[in-house]
Amino acid sequence: MRPVQLIDRRLKYRIVAAGIVSLLAWFLLQATSQRPSLPWSEEMLDASQRTERAVAAVARYHVAAGTPIDGSLDPNRTGLVGPEYSPLYTTLGQLEAKRTTTNPDVAGLVVHLLRGAGVSAGDTIAVGCSASFPALMIATVTAAEAMGVRPVTILSLGASAYGATRPELNLLDIYALLLSEGVVATAPVAVSLGGAGDVGADFDPAFRERLLQQIEMSDVPLIYEPDLRANVARRMAIYLGGPEGRVTAFVNIGGADANLGTSQLVLGAEPGLNTELALPPLAQRGVLFEMAARGVPVIHLLNIRGLALRYGLPWDPIPLPAPGTSRLQDDGGARDLRFWLITASYFASLGLIAVIGRRRLI
């Protein structure tokens, strides 16, 4: 019988060997699995530059209006990161995710996603936008306009934490500002209050009344329908009721109930481009699933961490990158042969270490 001390020593050697093999495999995977950067097309750069101008316009507004930007929340001083709580607050939100979306190069990524969805100049896209990510609204509209694409945009004013939560500059205000500054040219086609039931049922009644008065004065048509199926039907009629009668893609921004619906299947929607989605029952479908049911590609902009990981988007950059300088990547699809060869070699090496160690102990 072998001494216990010798067995323990050999066991330690096997653990060290397995650790070395694991490190080597990790380094090899890091070295070989880097995805190539997306080439920056003229349209992508144009969209990012338009977004940079739009962000600058919002920042200038705050200076002119004397509304301070909280540098602890918004160190890049974009004016697009609001307070955590306000009368417009609906749900929790991640501060770093909100700041990530203010990168002008997000618009370049949206151009890439729209191209991947088959969108080209002259097409129409549908955009459903909650106020949780005002920067994504800007990126989507500027991307569409840079491509010569018509965005049919419906806004919802309820916002998660750190979104367009300023009562004095809500999402409708931001859009109106951008139109007046000439940095976007396409007006929204409708607006809802958002929040509970998409009618602001969880808002303070007096504040909700002020929002309704603002919408009436804006001349943007109001969607005020607490029944999900009727609300979705109204939105689909707006999206599909244009002269073309069809849309090439649907962009969902944020988590408005009317866009997502009530089914847990929405959790299966990948951040970014989706060409196929499992469909819930009709009673649970939001616009996202209604579009998918019609074969319309869906660009889902909600899980920003997942979006950053999938497409190489810089996470919470300070300062913001200059337009066209982010190293964006395609999601890459299936793993290539090198990944599987390295993975197979790794597990084979661990198995060999275990076998050799076992024989020496017998």
The larger pLDDT score, comparing residue 268 to residue 356, is at 268
What local confidence, expressed as pLDDT, does residue 181 receive? 96
What local confidence, expressed as pLDDT, does residue 203 receive? 97
DSSP readout, 262-275?
Answer: S-GGGGGSPSEEES
Dihedral pair phi/psi, residue 150, rounded to 5°: -95, 115
Among 27-41, 130-144, 274-288, which is the least confidently predicted range?
Answer: 27-41
Helix (H) or strand (E) holding 151: strand 150-156
What local confidence, expressed as pLDDT, does residue 333 receive? 46
Summarize pLDDT for 267-296 with one digit per residue, the tens. 999 999 999 999 999 999 999 999 999 999
Altogether, the residues listed in the chain come to a count of: 362
Summarize pLDDT for 291-314 with one digit per residue, the tens. 999 999 999 999 999 999 999 999
The average pLDDT across 260-267 equals 96
What local confidence, expressed as pLDDT, does residue 356 receive? 66
- pLDDT of 100 strictly over 90: yes
What local confidence, expressed as pLDDT, does residue 334 receive? 41
The average pLDDT across 319-347 equals 72
Helix (H) or strand (E) holding 6: helix 4-32
Distance, CA of 137 to CA of 260 (rounded, Å): 17
What local confidence, expressed as pLDDT, does residue 21 receive? 61
Burial of 281 (0-12, 13-18, 19+ CB in 10 A): exposed
- pLDDT of 50 strictly over 80: yes
